[in-house]
Amino acid sequence: MHIALRPIYTIAKKELSDNVRNKWIVAMVAIFLTLTIASSFMAGRGQVGEMGATVGALMSISSMLVPVISIMLGYGAISGEVESGALSVVLSYPVRRVEILLGKYLGLGAVICISILVGFGVSGLIIALTTGTAQWGAYIAFILLTMLLGMLYLSLSMCFSSVLKRRVTSLAAGVLVFFLGLILGMIMMGAWMATGGSLEAIMTGDTSGIPDWFWFEVFVSPQDGNGAAAMLAFGTTEFLGFDMALPPWITLGTLALAQLIWTIVPLALACFFFQRRDI
Amino acid sequence: MANDPPIVIETRNLTKRFKDVDAVNSLNLKIRKGEIYGFLGPNGAGKSTTIKMIMGLIHPTAGAAFVNGRRVSGGAADIRNAIGFLPERISFYNNLTPVQTLSFFCELRRADKCVVPSLIEDVGLSEAANRKVGTFSKGMTQLLGVAQAMIGNPSVFILDEPMGGLDAMWVKMVRDKLKTLNEQGATIIFSSHILSEVQSLCHRVAIVDRGRLVAEDTIENISSGLHLRPRLSIRSPGLKGKVPDWVRKVEGVEDAEADGDTLLITCAGDARLSVMTALQKGGLVVKDFRTVEPSLEEAFVKLLSDEEAA
C-alpha cells in the first residue's frame, strides 16, 4: 500500500497545534510536573525523595491518569468527526484514510509524549539535582514506558473510534477496556484464591505456589504490564500492592514486546475498519 | 458521437443497500466535460448517497463510480485532486478561523496558501476572517464551504445542495459563481430538491426517485417527452379560483385551471388565438394574458407520479 508522508504531516501538525492552542498540552505538563514533585515529597517523607521511591509512588497515579488522557484525546478522533461532518470535507481531498488515521495518531501521540517528556523530565531533573543521579537510566526507562502506555491507550481508543458509529459509544468502549485492565489483577487474584491459592503465602513473600497462568496477567492488562516493566527497570519487587518476585520469563523485554503488540494491533485494526467505513 | 466532450464522471450500475433499503439502485450516469449537471430528486431519493459514492466516502454495494475514467477506490486518492467538493450540511473544525481552515485544506491539496485571503473575500467572509468557525451561522459555514471547494482550481465541482440554507442574496452569489466557474471550463454537478434553482442553470438534469434514475436529459427534452406544453395564463378579476363551466367546453381547450384570478389554459400552440377569441366572446373579462413555459416543477411532479403508477 502506498502512503504519502506530506498529508500525514499536515494532519499530525493540525492535531498537535489544536492541543497547543487550547492549552491542553500545558495543562498536562503542569499535572505531570506537580504529580511527580508531590510523589517525590511523599516518598521522601517531606523531602525530595529518591527516583526509585518517587516512581513507586507516582506509578499508581500515572498508570491511571495516562490511559485516561489518551482515551480522552483519541475517542472522538474518527467517530466524532464523522458525526460532526468535518471528516467528509477532509476525505474529499487527495488524502488516503490510512494517512488521516496515522496523522491523527502521530499528532495526538506527540501531544501525549511531549507532555510526559516535559512534565516527568523537568521534575526528574529537579529530583536528580537534589538526590543524585544514580537511577537516571531507570528513570528514563520509566518515562519511555509511560509514553508507551499513552500510545497504547491512544491506539485502543482510536480503534474504538474507527469501529463504532458514535462518539459516545467510542468513549464508553475506551472506559470499559480501561477498567478491565485496572481490575484484571484482582480478578486473577480471586481466581487463584478460588483454585487453592493462599493470601498468606503472598503476604509472607512466598510466590512459589503461584501458577504461570496467573502471571500471564501482566501481558493482558496494559496497566499492570507497564507497571511491572517499570518495577523491573528500577529493580523493585512490589506488585499489585504485594512484595513478590516475578518469574524469570517475565523480563523488561517480554513486557515491552507485549506492550508494543498492544499498541500496533489496535492501530492496524483501526486502519482496517476505517478503510471500510461509510462516512 | 465522436465529437462529444469526454466523460468526466460516470457511474455504472452503482448500487447501495442500507440494511433492507436500496438507497441507490443500479444507477447509470454520464457527466461530460463542461456541463452544468443538475441532480434532482425529492428528499431521500439517494442523491447524497450517490454523490458520497462518487467521492469515495461510501462504499458501493455493487457497481462503481469513475472519475476521469479511473475507478473510485480507497487507494486512488489522487483522483480527488481534480474535484472540489461541497458536502450536504458542511461542517468544519469549530476551533479554527476561516484563515486557518483554508490554510489547512490548501496544505492537503498542495496549493499555495496565498490564495486564502482572496478566497475568503470571494465569498464575502472577509469581516469574519479571524473569527472562530464555531461561531458561524449555517449560511456562513456554507459560504466557507464554497470557498474551500475552489482551492487549487479544480476542473470538476461536486456540490450537494449548494444553495441549501442560504439567503436569497447568497443564493444569487453562488449561482453566479457556478456560472463563472463553468464559463472558465469547469464541469459542475450539483444536487437540489428545489427545482427553480436548477432550471435556468443546468445544461442537463438527472431526476432520481427512491434510488432509481427516472430521467436524464436536457430540461427541454424532458418537458417535451412528457408532452408538457406552454399554457395560456389569463388574468381575469372576479374569477376567485373557479373555472366557469363553459370554459372547458370551448373548442381547443384541453385543460383549464384557476389560481386566484388567474386562469391557466392548456391548448395547442396554433389554437391559442381562436381560444382567446372564444373566451372573450363568451364573456370572460381579460385584463392581461401571457404564455407560460412548462416548468421543471411540472415535469418533476409528472415524472414522479408516472413512476409511482408504473
- Measure A162 CA to nearest chain B CA, in Å: 14
- Measure A198 CA to nearest chain B CA, in Å: 54
Contacts of residue B75 in chain A, CB cutoff 8 Å?
Answer: 1-2, 96
- Highest mean pLDDT, choosing among B5-9, B240-244, B285-289, B292-296: B5-9
**Contact across the interface for B95 and A278, Cβ inside 8 Å:** no
**Contact across the interface for B89 and A85, Cβ inside 8 Å:** yes
User: For chain B, what is the mean pLDDT?
Assistant: 87
B95 part of contact set with chain A, CB < 8 Å:
yes
Dihedral of the alpha carbons of A144, A148, A150, A152, in degrees to the nearest 10 = 180
SS3 A239: strand
A129 against A83, higher pLDDT: A83
Please compute the mean of the pLDDT values over residues B285-309 and round it to a whole number.
Answer: 77
Give pLDDT, residue B77.
87
**Number of separate domains in chain A:** 1
Q: What is the SS3 assignment for chain B?
A: CCCCCCEEEEEEEEEEEECCEEEEEEEEEEEECCCEEEEECCCCCCHHHHHHHHCCCCCCCEEEEEECCEECCCCCHHHHHHEEEECCCCCCCCCCCHHHHHHHHHHHHCCCHHHHHHHHHHCCCHHHCCCCHHHCCHHHHHHHHHHHHCCCCCCEEEEECCCCCCCHHHHHHHHHHHHHHHHCCCEEEEEECCHHHHHCCCCEEEEEECCEEEEEECHHHHHHHCCCCCEEEEECCCCCCCCCHHHHHCCCCCEEEEECCEEEEECCHHHHHHHHHHHHHCCCCCCEEEEECCCHHHHHHHHHHHHHHC
Give pLDDT, residue B238.
80
User: For chain A, what is the mean pLDDT?
Assistant: 88
- For B87, which of A21, A22, A85 is closest by C-beta distance? A85
**Contact across the interface for A94 and B107, Cβ inside 8 Å:** no
- Measure B239 CA to nearest chain A CA, in Å: 51
**Contact across the interface for B55 and A95, Cβ inside 8 Å:** no
End-to-end Cα, chain A, rounded Å: 21
Give the confidence band of B276 by pLDDT, cuts at 50, 70, 90.
Answer: confident
Query: What is the grid cell recorded at A159?
Result: 480503534
Query: What is the grid cell recorded at B251?
Result: 373548442
Please compute the mean of the pLDDT values over residues B224-247 and round it to a whole number.
Answer: 81
**Contact across the interface for B59 and A276, Cβ inside 8 Å:** yes
- For B95, which of A22, A85, A89 is closest by C-beta distance? A22
Q: Each residue of A206-215: pLDDT tens digit? A: 666 777 788 8
- For B57, which of A18, A86, A91 is closest by C-beta distance? A91
Contacts of residue B58 in chain A, CB cutoff 8 Å?
Answer: 278-279
Give pLDDT, residue A185.
83
Give the confidence band of A239 by pLDDT, cuts at 50, 70, 90.
Answer: low
Please compute the mean of the pLDDT values over residues A157-173 and round it to a whole number.
Answer: 95
Q: How far apart are CA B250 and CA B273, in angstroms?
A: 12
Q: Which residues of A touch chain B, with CB atoms under 8 Å apart?
A: 1-2, 6-7, 10-11, 14, 18, 21-22, 84-86, 88-97, 99, 275-276, 278-279
- Residue A229 near residue A260, CB atoms below 8 Å: no
Taking CA atoms, A254 is separated from A153, A214, A247, A249, in Å, by: 19, 16, 12, 8
Q: Each residue of A252-261: pLDDT tens digit? A: 889 999 999 9
B54 part of contact set with chain A, CB < 8 Å:
no
Identify the residue whose cell numbers are 517499570. Answer: A230
- For A95, which of B59, B77, B93 is closest by C-beta distance? B77
B57 part of contact set with chain A, CB < 8 Å:
yes
Q: What is the SS3 assignment for A181-217?
A: HHHHHHHHHHHHHHCCCCHHHHHCCCCCCCCHHHHCH
Q: Each residue of B186-234: pLDDT tens digit? A: 999 999 877 777 777 888 989 888 899 988 888 778 777 777 777 888 8
Give the confidence band of A237 by pLDDT, cuts at 50, 70, 90.
Answer: low
Give pLDDT, residue A40.
85
Query: What is the grid cell recorded at B29?
Result: 450516469
Contacts of residue A279 in chain B, CB cutoff 8 Å?
Answer: 52, 57-58
Classify residue A273 by burial, with Cβ atoms within 10 Å: 0-12, 13-18, 19+.
middle
- Measure B37 CA to nearest chain A CA, in Å: 19
CA-nearest of A183, A182, A163 to A173 is: A163
Classify residue B290 by burial, with Cβ atoms within 10 Å: 0-12, 13-18, 19+.
exposed
- For B90, which of A6, A18, A89 is closest by C-beta distance? A89
Give pLDDT, residue B183.
95
Min mean pLDDT across A101-110, A232-241, B69-78, B222-231 is at A232-241
**Contact across the interface for B56 and A91, Cβ inside 8 Å:** yes
A155 against A196, higher pLDDT: A155
Please compute the mean of the pLDDT values over residues A155-182 and round it to a whole number.
Answer: 94
Give one word for B244, left, alpha or beta, with left for phi > 0 and alpha for psi -120 to 50. Answer: beta
Contacts of B65 (CB under 8 A, 6+ apart): B9, B10, B11, B12, B14, B53, B54, B71, B72
**Contact across the interface for A89 and B87, Cβ inside 8 Å:** yes
Q: What are the backbone angles phi and psi of residue B225, rounded to the nearest 5°? A: -60, -30
**Contact across the interface for B77 and A14, Cβ inside 8 Å:** no
Q: Each residue of B16-67: pLDDT tens digit? A: 999 888 899 999 999 999 999 999 888 888 999 999 999 999 999 999 999 9
CA-nearest of A230, A245, A183 to A59 is: A230
Domain limits, CATH 3.40.50.300, in chain B: 7-90+150-224
Tell me which of B58, B108, B110, B136 to substitute to probe the interface with A (most A C-beta atoms closer than 10 Å): B108
Among chain B residues, the shortest Cα distance to A82 is held by: B91
Give pLDDT, residue B80.
92
Answer positive or negative: Cα dihedral of A208, A210, A212, A218: negative
State how beta strands B7-18 and B62-67 pair. antiparallel
Type of residue at A108 = L
Of 1.10.287.1080, 3.40.50.300, 3.40.50.620, 3.30.1490.190, the CATH number of B7-90+150-224 is: 3.40.50.300
Among chain B residues, the shortest Cα distance to A6 is held by: B108
- Residue B197 near residue B174, CB atoms below 8 Å: no
Indicate if the pLDDT at residue A20 is higher than 70.
Answer: yes
CA-nearest of A113, A87, A88 to A19 is: A113
Contacts of B85 (CB under 8 A, 6+ apart): A89, A92, B55, B149, B157, B158, B159
**Contact across the interface for B87 and A88, Cβ inside 8 Å:** yes
SS3 A242: strand
Tell me which of A92, A162, A274, A275 to substitute to probe the interface with B (most B C-beta atoms closer than 10 Å): A92
- Tell me which CATH code domain B229-293 carries: 3.30.70.980
Classify residue B7 by burial, with Cβ atoms within 10 Å: 0-12, 13-18, 19+.
middle
B246 part of contact set with chain A, CB < 8 Å:
no
Contacts of residue A275 in chain B, CB cutoff 8 Å?
Answer: 74
What ipTM did this prediction achieve?
0.87
Domain limits, CATH 3.30.70.980, in chain B: 229-293
Please compute the mean of the pLDDT values over residues A170-174 and round it to a whole number.
Answer: 94
Angle, helices B98-109/A5-21, rounded to nearest 10 degrees: 160
Q: Each residue of B97-155: pLDDT tens digit? A: 999 999 999 999 999 989 999 999 988 899 998 899 999 988 899 999 999 999 999 99
For residue A209, what are the domain limits?
Answer: 5-276
- For B81, which of A21, A22, A94 is closest by C-beta distance? A94
Count contacts between A and B (CB, < 8 Å).
71
